[in-house]
Amino acid sequence: MNLVFRIAATVLSAAWIASIAPAATAAPEPYEINAILSLTGNLAFVGADQLQALKALEGFVNKSGGIDGRPLSFAVADDQSDVKTSLQLAQGLIAKNVPIILGPSSPQACAAIAPLLTRGPVMYCIANAGYPTAGGYEFLTLFGFDVQFPVTLRYFRMLGMHKLAYITATDAGGLDAERAILAAAALPENKDIQIVAREHFAPGDLSTTAQMARIKAANPDFLIAWATGTPAGTMFRSAKDIGGLDIPITTSPGNLNAAFFKQYGSMLPTNLYFATVPYYANNALLNPAVKTAIANQTAALAAIGVKPDGLAIGAWDPAVLLVDALRKLGPDASAAKLHDYLVNLRGWVGVNGTYDFRANPQRGLGQNNVIMVKFTSGGNVAASKFGGVPLR
């Protein structure tokens, strides 16, 4: 065989081998879920926790096959804690016909976007305040004020406390909280509850000393001090400054995060309570499926050096629910199919317990998912059964 023949034979052989060899498999394209979070601005501490939860979930989901073999990726946009920016970001995503928006971080931003969702996308808001339209495309994380406050009042009433004082911020979240407090107090089971003080303050106020002094003078049995972050710190500092307000105080579970306790721990009341999620209930009160869900979340967050807190927990289940829906319906599922799946979902178990979107539209969670916990220097401890009945 001469040289030319040998070269030609080699070329032909290589071509034949290439023709029968399997084509190189391209890496599957990631499935992107668009998220709007507050990563800068006054709600940056909220968005930072939520982002950690989503990053942990990416790793957890991708270790178990992703979505139909495609790796999960959260495409996160920063709304800078600004409602107008959040609205603009959402309008851009709606124009692109995306099926899902996860977020935003604030109830005001969610409320601004919700009217645009007449035909989708599914927006799973990871702020818990608000009143989504039953059957609509807006879903909210955790439970609403209309669930939290009946549980709170039931707990203190069953302990023999009947004189209630409250202080709320004058922003939209504070006004919603006040309406829900009044509605809970008006329930027949709470006919013996007497509201002895009603106080308000602006979120930017540097002090609430005058309000706390009036609350102290009214001699309540317990106090609802409702705000999140810096405004909550302002209330607790003022309560400490006036001295002698040694009564049980309950506040927003949005303050159940390490950053809040680090900044305001020295001024927190000795009897501080939260109406919150099963994570804080102690394993003895949980069923095996919820324990498994919590263990999975805890392990996923630990892999990135983070412990669960209220904000991370609030982002976790919505994201897992959406991933589970996409795994069942396929990555090409439209907003309409995802919506229909969610509104009819019952019996799904997450870190926040068992969901039933028929009984609890747009949230899936009700009073039986809420537990009262007491804050202590050693950590939060369960103070009630689910629904608010005190532990004896």
Region 162-185: mean pLDDT is 94
DSSP secondary structure letters along 149-207 = HHHHHHHHHHTT--EEEEEEESSHHHHHHHHHHHHHHTSGGGTT-EEEEEEEE-TT-S-
pLDDT for 172: 80
Residue 2 has pLDDT above 50, yes or no: no
Region 32-36: mean pLDDT is 98
Q: What does R_g of the chain's alpha carbons equal in angstroms? A: 25
pLDDT for 214: 97
Tokens representing residue 118 in the block: 């007449």
**164 and 196 in contact (C-beta within 8 Å)?**
yes
pLDDT for 5: 33
Residue 192 has pLDDT above 70, yes or no: yes
Residue 11 has pLDDT above 70, yes or no: no
Residue 17 has pLDDT above 50, yes or no: no
pLDDT for 195: 98
pLDDT for 27: 78
Other beta carbons within 10 angstroms of residue 319's beta carbon come to 26
Region 326-344: mean pLDDT is 97
Question: Please, which pLDDT band fits residue 85 given cuts at 50, 70 and 90?
Answer: very high
Residue 291 has pLDDT above 90, yes or no: yes
Region 16-30: mean pLDDT is 60
**319 and 33 in contact (C-beta within 8 Å)?**
yes
Question: Please, which pLDDT band fits residue 57 given cuts at 50, 70 and 90?
Answer: very high
Higher pLDDT, 40 or 379: 40
Residues of the chain with CATH 3.40.50.2300: 30-64+73-142+285-361, 145-276+370-382
Q: How does pLDDT run across 115-167, given as a tens digit for each residue?
A: 999 999 999 999 988 889 999 999 999 999 999 999 999 999 999 999 999 99
**110 and 136 in contact (C-beta within 8 Å)?**
no
Q: How high is the mean pLDDT of the chain?
A: 90
Residue 8 has pLDDT above 60, yes or no: no
Residue 34 has pLDDT above 80, yes or no: yes
Closest listed residue to residue 255, CA positions, set 153, 128, 86: 128
Direct distance between the N- and C-terminal alpha carbons of the chain, in angstroms, rounded to an integer: 96
Pairing type for strands 222-226 and 194-201 reads unpaired
Secondary structure in 3-state letters for 298-341: HHHHHCCCCCCCHHHHHHHHHHHHHHHHHHHHCCCCCHHHHHHH
**Burial status of residue 62 (CB atoms within 10 A of its CB: 0-12, 13-18, 19 or more):** middle
Q: How does pLDDT run across 40-49, given as a tens digit for each residue?
A: 998 898 999 9
Tokens representing residue 278 in the block: 């099963």
pLDDT for 121: 98
At residue 124, the 3 state secondary structure works out as: strand
Q: CA dist 299 to 25, 59, 186, 346, 372, Å?
A: 32, 11, 42, 26, 25
In the numeric block, the tokens 């003895």 are attached to 284
Residue 14 has pLDDT above 90, yes or no: no
CATH 3.40.50.2300 fits 145-276+370-382, yes or no: yes
Question: Please, which pLDDT band fits residue 13 given cuts at 50, 70 and 90?
Answer: very low
Percent share of the chain, pLDDT over 70: 93
Residue 236 has pLDDT above 70, yes or no: yes
Closest listed residue to residue 57, CA positions, set 299, 232, 233, 375: 299
Region 3-30: mean pLDDT is 50
In the numeric block, the tokens 């324990």 are attached to 291
Region 96-103: mean pLDDT is 97
pLDDT for 24: 53
Q: Provide the angle, in degrees to the nearest 10, between the axes of the packed helices 310-329 and 335-343.
A: 110
DSSP state of 146: H
Question: Please, which pLDDT band fits residue 202 given cuts at 50, 70 and 90?
Answer: very high
For 30-64+73-142+285-361, which CATH superfamily applies?
A: Response regulator (3.40.50.2300)
Which segment of 33-42, 47-56, 88-97, 167-176 scores lowest on mean pLDDT?
167-176
pLDDT for 6: 37
Q: How does pLDDT run across 337-361, given as a tens digit for each residue?
A: 999 999 999 999 999 999 999 999 9
Region 237-241: mean pLDDT is 94
pLDDT for 25: 61
Residue 287 has pLDDT above 70, yes or no: yes
CA dihedral 362, 364, 366, 371 (to 10 degrees): -120
Q: CA dist 282 to 44, 318, 374, Å?
A: 29, 22, 12
